[in-house]
Structure 1
Amino acid sequence: MVEGRRFEFDDVTYVVEPFELGPLVLPTGEIVGCDPLVSHTTPFVDTVEPGTYPLRAWVAVLHKDQVEWQRRIAALQLVIVDEPVASWTMAAHADQDVASLDEDSYFGYGVDAGTGTLADRVTIETLQSWDFDRIDETFIPAQIPLDPIEAVISAVVDENTGANVYVVGSGWGDGSYATYVGWTADGCIATFVTDFQVLPDA
């Protein structure tokens, strides 16, 4: 993602803007990408050192006839080190073989509640223990703001570790979304990015 990058498709102009959501606490460094209101706890194979890292949303601002039409979260990025990305791999679980995929296939997580997140395994495991009323009270507002950044909801879900979560709108809504791992030139993980398939192919 590049700030200010423009895409044109079907008479719609897409302009990409970054928004810093805040610090994400990773007690284990085991990253889960999922719809947190549905909760799947399987972490990706690639892990990082436990710690606190910035979480960033990339918003696509859509224009029609030179007038802003709507905004959608195009990607969610967990920044591990602020260094250039030299290569990308697909984030996968231990039982998934990326080499088995053809060029049009990917491993992604399913979204059924129109939301997505990147969070620590501890966070998602804790959410799975919450009953519906607590989920509803914490993450489901009576009215969802039109601006997707204003609609982001964050919460600390494990007081012992400080593990927290940011619940964001998943692009156009329900679907299946892949996460990618960006690597530095010296082979360190720089970032995890979930693509919500909002932007047209460049």
Structure 2
Amino acid sequence: MNATPPDCARWFTPGATLPPGGGRDAALTVTDLGELGLPTGRLVACDPIVHLGDDDERPAPFTVTVPPGRYPVQTVVADVEHPFRNRVIAAARLLVRDAPAAHWEPALVPGQDPADLADGDFFGYGVDAGVGCFLDASAHHAFPGTEDEEGVVWEAMDGGPPGPTAFLAEGVEGHTVAVFGSGWGDGCYPTWIGRAADGGVVCFVTDFRVLRFAPARPLPSGTVGP
């Protein structure tokens, strides 16, 4: 696995400007969505429209867990030149500790082994509805109707302000989900774990592949992408 971890320290620096990969700079804006509840400490990242509530499509949580609690979620929006869209969400981050990340590793689900990947490939989650999310593994059935274009997730999407989708929604029994637009749209997107010098988890970051690659044809849905 030769995919490069994100430059998260710069991405989530307010006011930063970075090249998106197409030769033009991208101005970055960091947005706080609120605190996500993780009552079991088992984080799931997925396309909420495709996966929530469907046991046949139920995504597995990452193998690395965190102490149960509430954790801030942020997005970074990139203003880039593009024929169809100028403001897109480049990454989403769940903050676990207020500490710098000394090194990064891929976030994996059971059965994934980076040694099985070809050079340049990565494990990620497939997006078919243009949005990703973070939620606790126990919240899979907390947002009824999502797969039928009903419920609080769809209400928040339909009633949100103009611009990239990003919100925190509350479902049944107090469960929450953080939903955010997935970069240029559908594709396969990796999540990375940042660890502090002492080895503790600092954050999870989903990279929507905006800041290091020029806009291109969306990748097909799947669990491995180039």
| TM-score normalised by length of structure 1 | 0.85
Cα 1:116/1:77, change in 2 over 3 Å: same
Aligned to 1:92, what secondary structure does the other structure show? coil
Give the AA of the match of 2:158: P
Q: Does the CA contact (< 8 Å) of 2:50 and 2:128 recur in 1? A: yes
Matching residue of 1:165:
177
Cα 1:93/1:128, change in 2 over 3 Å: farther
Matching residue of 1:77:
93
- 1:13-35 Cα deviation digits (max 9, x unpaired): 21222111111111111010100
**How far 1:59 moved relative to its partner?**
1.0
Matches for 1:122-161 after TM superposition, within 5 Å:
122-127=138-143, 132-135=148-151, 137-141=154-158, 145-148=161-164, 151-159=165-173
Matches for 1:7-22 after TM superposition, within 5 Å:
7=19, 9-22=21-34
In 2, Cα distance between equivalents of 1:198 and 1:93: 24
**How far 1:137 moved relative to its partner?**
4.5
Check if 1:52 corresponds to 2:61.
no
Aligned to 1:38, what secondary structure does the other structure show? helix
Matching residue of 1:61:
79
Matching residue of 1:35:
47
Runs of at least 5 residues in structure 2 that lack an aligned partner in the other structure = 1-7, 52-57, 214-226
Cα 1:74/1:131, change in 2 over 3 Å: closer
Q: Does the CA contact (< 8 Å) of 1:36 and 1:124 recur in 2? A: no
**Which of 115, 118, 121 is matched with 1:99 structurally?**
115
Identity of aligned residues (%): 38
Matching residue of 2:54:
none
> What is the RMSD of the two structures over their aligned residues, measured on CA atoms?
2.2
Give the AA of the match of 1:138: E
Aligned to 1:117, what secondary structure does the other structure show? strand
Give the AA of the match of 1:163: H
Matching residue of 2:128:
112
**How far 1:140 moved relative to its partner?**
4.0
Runs of at least 5 residues in structure 1 that lack an aligned partner in the other structure = none
**How far 1:153 moved relative to its partner?**
3.4
Q: Does the CA contact (< 8 Å) of 1:56 and 1:77 recur in 2? A: yes
In 1, Cα distance between equivalents of 2:137 and 2:45: 9
Q: Determine which structure has the larger strand proportion and give its number.
A: 1
In 2, Cα distance between equivalents of 1:16 and 1:131: 32
Cα 1:180/1:165, change in 2 over 3 Å: same
Q: Does the CA contact (< 8 Å) of 1:139 and 1:167 recur in 2? A: no
Matching residue of 2:217:
none
In 1, Cα distance between equivalents of 2:138 and 2:145: 11
Cα 1:10/1:131, change in 2 over 3 Å: closer
